[in-house]
């Protein structure tokens, strides 16, 4: 079987199961999200050595505003803290951080913390870490369409850059933890030919070994991109 493992993969992760992880331990859901940050650290550290060039993490969807106010507040607090405390560590590790999604609805100081973290890490070349906050793939596609400068139909590449906020490679692999098997409005344009990997593991338990297992599964896939053979660049 052809292998599709290659350097510079774009992997997207839907980090699901924080609440169930906490509930199973008799803990408040917010502590599940806190434990999820430790998993983020493990995966970001392991990613470059596992051939990942771009890693997009789904931290807060635009539909997550519907959650109870105390959980939204806890998540926003964790995000603020992560951005403030992690930027220097990411910069040192050569990780470039960018945030995708709307910034105008984020509470106190988060938009500023995003701007600072992006500036501090801008020179990173080991990994492009993208965190999706107040993110909706459909909204990103609609915004890109609304901002087209003329009535000419753009190429898929040009339009894709508008959707992604820059020249980001298409997603190779989407991982979703905790047993659900759906995309939940995550990177819909960029994942047109993505392989999908679902695991029962709750996100706070996810580690470098789980990432390696997902990539092994990916390496065994035959990616034909609609053709009958595996293109050389994906082989």
Catalytic residues: 16, 64
Total number of residues binding ligand FPP (CB under 6 A)?
18
Q: Should residue 33 be labelled a site residue for ligand FPP when binding is judged by CB under 6 A?
A: yes
Q: Should residue 213 be labelled a site residue for ligand FPP when binding is judged by CB under 6 A?
A: no
Q: Which residue is nearest to ligand FPP (CB)?
A: 19
Find the helix packing angle between 137-146 and 156-164, rounded to 10°. Answer: 120
CB 37, min distance to ligand FPP, A:
5
Q: Should residue 50 be labelled a site residue for ligand FPP when binding is judged by CB under 6 A?
A: no
The Cα 30–Cα 28 span in angstroms is 5
Tell me if residue 186 falls in helix, strand or coil: coil
CB 16 within 8 A of CB 178: yes
HSE-CB for 168 with a 13 A CA cutoff: 30
Site for ligand FPP in 130-159 (CB under 6 A): 131
Q: Should residue 20 be labelled a site residue for ligand FPP when binding is judged by CB under 6 A?
A: yes
Q: Which is nearer to ligand FPP, 28 or 154 (CB)?
A: 28
| Window of 30-38, 110-118, 135-143, 164-172 that interacts with ligand FPP by CB under 6 A | 30-38
Strand order in the sheet with 195-198: 95-100, 127-135, 52-61, 9-14, 173-176, 195-198
Q: Which is nearer to ligand FPP, 12 or 19 (CB)?
A: 19
């Amino acid at each position: 079987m052809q292998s599709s493992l290659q350097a510079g993969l774009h992997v997207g992760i839907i980090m699901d199961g924080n609440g169930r992880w906490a509930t199973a331990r008799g803990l408040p859901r917010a502590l599940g999200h806190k434990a999820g940050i430790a998993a983020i650290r493990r995966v970001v550290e392991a990613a470059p050595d596992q051939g990942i060039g771009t890693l997009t993490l789904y931290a807060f969807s635009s539909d997550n505003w519907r959650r109870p106010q105390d959980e939204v507040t806890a998540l926003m607090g964790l995000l603020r803290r992560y951005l403030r405390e992690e930027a220097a560590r990411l910069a040192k590790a050569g990780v470039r951080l960018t945030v995708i999604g709307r910034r105008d609805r984020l509470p106190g100081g988060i938009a500023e913390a995003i701007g600072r973290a992006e500036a501090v890490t801008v020179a990173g070349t080991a990994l492009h870490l993208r965190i999706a906050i107040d993110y909706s793939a459909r909204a990103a596609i609609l915004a890109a369409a609304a901002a087209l400068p003329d009535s000419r139909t753009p190429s898929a590449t040009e339009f894709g850059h508008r959707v992604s906020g820059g020249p980001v490679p298409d997603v190779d692999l989407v991982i979703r933890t905790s047993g659900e098997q759906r995309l939940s409005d995550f990177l819909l344009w960029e994942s047109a030919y993505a392989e999908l990997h679902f695991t029962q593991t709750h996100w706070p338990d996810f580690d470098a070994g789980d990432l390696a297992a997902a990539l092994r599964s990916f390496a065994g896939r035959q990616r034909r991109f609609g053709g009958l053979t595996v293109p050389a660049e994906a082989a």
